[in-house]
């Protein structure tokens, strides 16, 4: 079914026109700031009485309206603790349900917020006249945990000399973390920004720098920025520090900022930026929308790129010198993407989160076009193929990615996190979401044409520019926001094409098409019989209906054929344009128009087909598994000019380890006309093919001859020449070939000795003295290659407490360890760019440990993982620690990693640790591990629940780890709560916790007494609550709720303790006798320590989850004596109820009722719904249970309800007095009960009742005394629901 609108559809009763942000002081020592904000609001309704804004972490001192009336305000942030008051729930479904509820409660798109301001009475006349309101808020921020990062190095000198700086950060909608605002993209406004800093500091923010004013003592200065373009609060940022400033020499509107001593690398890294601006402006025929652009490079950045209006905050790790090769394409792509986000993402923002795919996808699309322009078509197509594979893998292995789920038909794909808000998304999902959005925009370009798409983008920018120049009015700036509907409307206006079908298929659905295909050539008819199948049952697969292109390369040329895919299995016939050539030699024309000579001896003499390709241009999201002979793959690799086709051929040839495949791969590696990435993949594939051909391989190891021919000395090929990386293709190949050779293995699965000597010689003769480029990446790859030659050590018996020693190492392992140690020590003295050698050395040492060559010890990695080391070094050490935790099951190491997550100053490090743990979990829910403890569960739960409210990405990363370890269900390592059920999946039975009822029999467990339990509710029920409950009452309920008295006349505190031989012992510690009721509890039972013995029995029909979901706390009808009456049957309502149930009220003897409610601390009852508590162990649909009630059972209590709740029967020795009824009466009651049961048995379809019905009646007939005893039992209503199970935490039992 369709959802009721988007989150941004909730109309805010006011509009924001302008905001002032003034921070009057920054304190780096105490990491605090103080300031105020002013919001100019235009009321839209005369009855506006409350204003809601967003603010987290900050302390608000006072709120003024119109600068003279102080307004009261209230702060409430449910995201501080997601599962408030919960003590037992530990399943992920419950957490995510509460997470979404808490997030929506403060979602600015829903007109909500953490701070609610009440408008004073003096301001009401102004609101009534719909005049603007100026709301001033004074606030401070002390030691923020998120949103604003203070970087203060532990050095001597002043803050400026130490390089101390600060900057804002966070995912979408995170500006609330550092100043009060309306934190929504749907509320743009103009901005005035003022920041007062020390004289040696520089404040950078959004907008134009209007003025810089110095104080009279010249110790401080104030930067004044003004942003005239309407901008939303999430796109506002700040950076303060002793930055060095450089105005771009090619574009004076662009300014670059970096920390001290980084100016040389800043100049080189940003020298290309003007080219990106010119490319985008020319591409869209539109100028850059802002008047300025600022790039700020900071340390300990939250992510590599954070784009805001007129400025972007980058990590200093993107800066590089002219000597570095590998970092250039990475840094340029990231910076170009940030510029694209200025057009779509900052200038034109999303209207709601459901529309986020548009700005994200368009920015990614523009960036890919720049990539194509800057690095070539081959790099672009390789990039698209990698993005496509990444999206396919995620949807196939993890879950569905729907770009716009707001109008989803049918149930949404089940993920373990909500996708309706950026603060609830898995970080992995957010990355894949952005990639898929880009691919969908590219598919749209293919569908309608690039020119029409660019015209649409130009139209969007033109409308936004016109809107930005207008003064504020209601809905004046709506063209500054982009939604799916507005995009489709403009698209239709510009192009005249309807793309709703395309949007429904790729934006509002998930999955990728999966094709399996093969073909046969029919010589008689000269046609190719093609068969395509779709696999729609696989995870992440979708049914594709639409056009599909097949390219066939024949002897006379390349031809495209488009087919309509409608069914799961489709057969086509393609008529060939050429006929087979016997002995005629003629050049073969290719798709590019080039004509080449081919050796046609390998192909079928009767067939003119050289190879086929399905969807060669990647026009849809698809995965193709194609079958064709090996010689066709070899032809495709040699002669196809598309790099994606060559890559596909290399992957397929790995399955054909033949001499012809070896020759084709070798020719590809040596071909200088081939794209360098294809040559690299061919080298890796050749190593795998050589291992498959190890028994028939002849000659030197694979690729050794090629390497010596290309890079060896002319006089002595075994000695490598001096490094010269001026040819970038040769540089990448020189790195790849040694790495590929390191994977070679002999028939005994060890690396050939000549390969190891070859690699050691590369270290020995490496000379970079005359090379103008750095060789740090080359040396790092050599270390990786050296370690790849290691095989697992032969297991030996060691002295207890000792591991392998250097004297026991083999000669090869000792040489490798010595080389790695030498490089690591040298790196400490002369560190290279990004410490790449250290990173490779740490990985090498860990691999030596894992293979048993050196003792497994994590102290080395712990020292490198500590704060103060370079970022990449810390990541490498942490990766080793995660691997150590998994292999050695080290609880101390895991605890250390979680300590870093909770306390590390760098938020990016914490995020990466969680990412590593989720990608490589120490254990899974299907494994038995010593690490899986209750303490670990509680620690992870606390991390998600309350410790990461300041960082949504960190909180969701913790949920990823929890899911990787325990899945969606309750962890099996937790003890089963006393009040939950156990479901035996093998026997299809249910029972209470066996530790509570150790001697209970199956017949007793499922003995359905068909009893009626009348419950009382808490005294806290108000009239409005009763009325609301009545509105939610099921239609078949016999009485309206307001007709049932829900007051308890006796307060009791019940304490359940275990007792040998019985289920529970209920102590009645205190009883307050009501003044109008006869005492029914004897003096004996008023004494301290008197007890009721309790036995739990389950019966009745389980309510369906959807029925239970409608009303989380359904009040049970109860019959309670009214004041002044001891007989509840005197009530007219009670009599009406009994008549409805088919019972004569006059035939029921008088029996006093003892109503009392159990304490909320009881193991049977949970807290109220408001506290987010629910029954322990249930799924997300579970909810709080009503209070339980206990009363003596009367003979005619066997009234059958339409939907009887499950009951628990409590036997008591105190009931002996009520058990003195005569035996004849008991028999008469039993016969009457049996008759009633036969009359209403269609209402009792519980699966356990059928198995026990006959035995139950036989037992009652044989033992009348037992029936008499049962008639005196006390009963407790125990409503519960059938949970929506995911997977069992154990093979047979599941806690529900």
Query: Could you read off the pLDDT of 1039-1073 as tens digits, one per residue?
Result: 333 333 333 333 333 333 333 333 333 333 333 33
Instruction: Give SS3 for 501.
Output: helix
Task: Please state, in angstroms and rounded to a whole number, the distance separating the CA atoms of residues 242 and 296.
Answer: 12
Crossing angle for the helix pair 952-966 and 427-448, nearest 10 degrees? 100
Torsion of CA 906, 908, 913, 918, to 10 degrees: 150
As to burial, measured by CB atoms within 10 angstroms (0-12 exposed, 13-18 middle, 19+ buried), residue 10 is middle
Task: Please state, in angstroms and rounded to a whole number, the distance separating the CA atoms of residues 718 and 736.
Answer: 18
Q: CB 968: neighbour CB atoms within 10 A?
A: 23
Say how many CA atoms lie within 13 Å of 577 toward its Cβ: 13
Q: Which one-letter DSSP state was computed for residue 854?
A: S
Crossing angle for the helix pair 811-829 and 753-764, nearest 10 degrees? 20
- Residue 499 tokens read as 């793309």
Edge-first strand order for the sheet with 1091-1094 is 1054-1059, 1062-1068, 1091-1094
- Residue 669 tokens read as 């590696």
Q: Are 290 and 347 in contact (CB under 8 A)?
A: yes
Tell me, what's the pLDDT at 567? 84
Q: Find, among 1202, 1197, 1185, the residue nearest to 1273 by Cα.
A: 1197
Q: Which one-letter DSSP state was computed for residue 1101?
A: P
Q: What is the pTM of this model?
A: 0.77
Q: At 938, which helix (H) or strand (E)?
A: helix 934-942
Q: At 833, which helix (H) or strand (E)?
A: none
Give the β-pairing of 1293-1295 and 1054-1059.
unpaired
> Tokens 């000198």, residue?
157
User: Which residue numbers in the chain have pLDDT < 70?
Assistant: 1-10, 86-87, 409-412, 474, 581-585, 794-807, 977-1296
Task: Give CB contacts under 8 A, 24+ apart, made by 243-248.
Answer: 243/165, 243/202, 243/204, 243/296, 245/202, 246/270, 248/273, 248/274
Give the β-pairing of 293-298 and 311-315.
parallel
């Amino acid at each position: 079914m369709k959802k009721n609108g988007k989150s941004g559809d909730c109309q805010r009763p006011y509009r924001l026109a302008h905001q002032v942000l003034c921070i009057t002081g920054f304190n780096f020592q105490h990491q605090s700031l103080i300031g105020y904000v002013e919001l100019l609001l235009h009321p839209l309704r005369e009855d506006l009485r409350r204003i809601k804004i967003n603010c987290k972490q900050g302390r608000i001192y006072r709120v003024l309206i119109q600068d003279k009336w102080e307004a009261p305000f209230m702060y409430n942030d449910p995201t501080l603790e997601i599962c408030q008051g919960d003590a037992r729930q530990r399943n992920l479904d419950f957490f995510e349900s509460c997470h979404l509820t808490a997030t929506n409660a403060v979602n600015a798109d829903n007109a909500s917020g953490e701070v609610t301001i009440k408008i004073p009475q003096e301001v009401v006349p102004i609101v009534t006249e719909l005049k603007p309101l100026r709301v001033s808020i004074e606030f401070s921020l002390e030691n923020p945990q998120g949103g604003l990062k203070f970087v203060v190095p532990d050095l001597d000198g002043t803050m400026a000399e130490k390089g101390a700086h600060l900057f804002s950060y966070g995912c979408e909608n995170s500006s609330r973390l550092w100043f009060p605002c309306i934190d929504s993209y749907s509320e743009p406004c103009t901005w005035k920004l003022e920041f007062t800093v020390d004289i040696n500091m520089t404040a950078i923010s959004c907008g134009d720098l209007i003025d810089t004013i110095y104080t009279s003592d010249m110790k401080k200065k104030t930067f004044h920025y003004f942003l005239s373009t309407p901008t939303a609060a999430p796109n506002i940022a700040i950076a303060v520090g002793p930055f060095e400033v450089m105005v771009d020499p090619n574009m004076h509107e662009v300014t670059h900022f970096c920390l001290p001593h980084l100016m040389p690398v800043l100049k080189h890294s940003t020298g290309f930026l003007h080219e990106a601006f010119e490319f985008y402006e020319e591409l869209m025929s539109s100028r850059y929308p802002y008047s300025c652009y600022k790039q700020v490079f900071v340390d300990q950045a939250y992510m590599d790129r954070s784009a805001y209006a007129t400025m972007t905050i980058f990590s200093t790790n993107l800066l590089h010198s002219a000597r570095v090769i590998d970092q250039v394409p990475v840094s340029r792509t990231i910076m170009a993407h940030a510029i694209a986000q200025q057009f779509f993402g900052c200038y034109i923002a999303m209207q709601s989160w459901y529309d986020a795919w548009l700005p994200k996808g368009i920015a990614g699309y523009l960036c890919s076009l720049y990539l194509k322009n800057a690095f070539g078509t081959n790099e672009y197509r390789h990039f698209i193929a990698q993005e496509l594979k990444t999206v396919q893998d995620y949807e196939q292995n993890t879950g569905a990615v729907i770009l716009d789920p707001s109008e989803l038909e049918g149930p949404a794909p089940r993920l373990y996190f909500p996708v309706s808000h950026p603060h609830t998304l898995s970080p992995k999902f957010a990355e894949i979401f952005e990639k898929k959005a880009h691919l969908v925009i590219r598919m749209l370009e293919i569908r309608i044409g690039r020119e029409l798409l660019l015209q649409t983008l130009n139209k969007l920018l033109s409308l936004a520019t016109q809107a930005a120049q207008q003064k504020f009015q209601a809905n004046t700036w709506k063209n500054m926001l982009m939604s799916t509907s507005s995009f489709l409307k403009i698209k239709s206006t510009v192009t005249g094409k309807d793309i709703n079908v395309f949007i429904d298929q790729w934006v509002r659905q998930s999955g990728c098409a999966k094709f399996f295909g093969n073909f046969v050539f029919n010589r008689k008819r000269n046609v190719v019989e093609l068969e395509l199948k779709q696999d729609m049952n696989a995870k992440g697969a979708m049914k594709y209906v639409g056009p599909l292109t097949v390219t066939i390369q024949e002897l006379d040329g390349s031809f495209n054929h488009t087919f309509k895919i409608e069914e799961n299995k489709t057969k086509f016939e393609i008529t060939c344009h050429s006929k087979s050539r016997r002995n005629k030699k003629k050049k073969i024309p290719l798709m590019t128009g080039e004509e080449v000579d081919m050796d046609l001896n390998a192909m079928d003499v009767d067939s003119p087909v050289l190879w086929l390709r399905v969807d060669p241009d990647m026009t849809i999201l698809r995965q193709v598994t194609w079958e064709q002979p090996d010689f066709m793959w070899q032809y495709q690799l040699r002669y196809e000019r598309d790099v994606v086709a060559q890559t596909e051929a290399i992957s397929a040839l790995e399955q054909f380890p033949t001499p012809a495949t070896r020759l084709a791969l070798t020719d590809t590696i040596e071909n200088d006309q081939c794209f360098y990435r294809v040559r690299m993949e061919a080298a890796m594939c050749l190593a795998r093919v050589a291992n498959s051909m190890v028994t028939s391989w002849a000659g030197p190891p694979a690729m050794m001859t090629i390497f010596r021919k290309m890079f060896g000395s002319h006089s002595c090929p075994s000695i490598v020449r001096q490094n010269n990386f001026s040819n970038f293709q040769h540089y990448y190949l020189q790195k790849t070939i040694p790495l590929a050779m390191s994977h070679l293995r002999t028939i005994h699965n060890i690396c050939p000795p000549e390969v190891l000597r070859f690699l050691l010689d590369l270290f020995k003769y490496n000379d970079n003295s005359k090379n103008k480029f750095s060789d740090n990446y080359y040396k790092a790859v050599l270390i990786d290659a050296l370690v790849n030659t290691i095989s697992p050590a032969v297991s030996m018996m060691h002295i207890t407490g000792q591991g392998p020693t250097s004297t026991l190492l083999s000669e090869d392992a000792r040489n490798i360890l010595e080389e790695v140690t030498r490089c690591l020590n040298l790196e400490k003295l002369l560190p290279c760019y990004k410490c790449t050698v250290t990173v490779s050395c740490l990985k090498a040492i860990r691999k030596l440990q894992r293979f048993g060559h050196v003792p497994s010890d994590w102290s080395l990695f712990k020292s490198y993982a500590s704060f103060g080391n370079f970022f990449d070094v810390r990541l490498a050490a942490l990766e080793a620690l995660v691997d150590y935790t998994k292999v050695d099951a080290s609880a101390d190491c895991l605890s250390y990693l979680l300590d870093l997550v909770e306390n590390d100053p760098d938020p990016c490090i914490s995020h990466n640790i969680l990412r590593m743990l989720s990608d490589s979990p120490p254990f899974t829910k299907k494994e038995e591990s010593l690490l899986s403890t209750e303490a670990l569960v509680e620690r992870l739960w606390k991390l998600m629940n309350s410790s990461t409210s300041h960082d949504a990405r960190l909180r969701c990363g913790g949920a990823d780890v929890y899911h990787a370890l325990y899945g969606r269900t309750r962890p099996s390592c937790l003890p089963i709560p006393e009040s939950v059920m156990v479901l035996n999946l093998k026997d299809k039975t249910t029972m209470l916790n066996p530790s509570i009822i150790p001697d209970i029999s199956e017949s007793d467990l499922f003995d359905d007494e068909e009893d009626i339990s009348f419950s009382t509710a808490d005294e806290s029920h108000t009239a409005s609550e009763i009325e609301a409950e009545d509105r939610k009452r099921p239609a078949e309920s016999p009485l309206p709720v307001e007709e049932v008295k829900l007051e308890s006349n006796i307060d009791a505190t019940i304490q359940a303790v275990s007792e040998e031989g019985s289920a529970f012992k209920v102590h009645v510690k205190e009883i307050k006798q009501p003044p109008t009721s006869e005492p029914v509890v004897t003096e004996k039972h008023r004494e301290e320590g008197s007890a009721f013995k309790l036995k739990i029995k389950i019966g009745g029909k389980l309510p369906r989850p959807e029925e239970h979901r409608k009303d989380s706390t359904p009040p049970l009808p109860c019959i309670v004596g009214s004041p002044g009456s001891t007989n509840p049957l005197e009530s007219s309502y009670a009599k009406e109820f009994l008549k409805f149930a088919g019972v004569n009220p006059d035939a029921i003897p008088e029996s006093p009722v003892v109503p009392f409610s159990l304490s909320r601390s009881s193991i049977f009852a949970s807290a109220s719904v408001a506290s987010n508590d629910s029954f322990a162990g249930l799924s997300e649909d579970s909810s709080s249970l009503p209070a339980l009630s206990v009363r003596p059972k009367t003979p005619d209590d066997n009234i059958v309800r339409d939907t009887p709740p499950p009951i628990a029967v409590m036997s008591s020795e105190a009931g002996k007095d009520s058990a003195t009824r005569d035996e004849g009466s008991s028999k008469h009651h039993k016969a009457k009960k049996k008759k009633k049961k036969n009359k209403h048995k269609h209402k009792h379809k519980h699966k356990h009742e059928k198995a026990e019905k006959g035995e139950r009646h036989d037992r009652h007939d044989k033992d009348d005394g037992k029936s008499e005893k049962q008639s005196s039992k006390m009963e407790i209503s125990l409503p519960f629901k059938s949970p929506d199970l995911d997977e069992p935490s154990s093979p047979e039992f599941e806690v529900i």
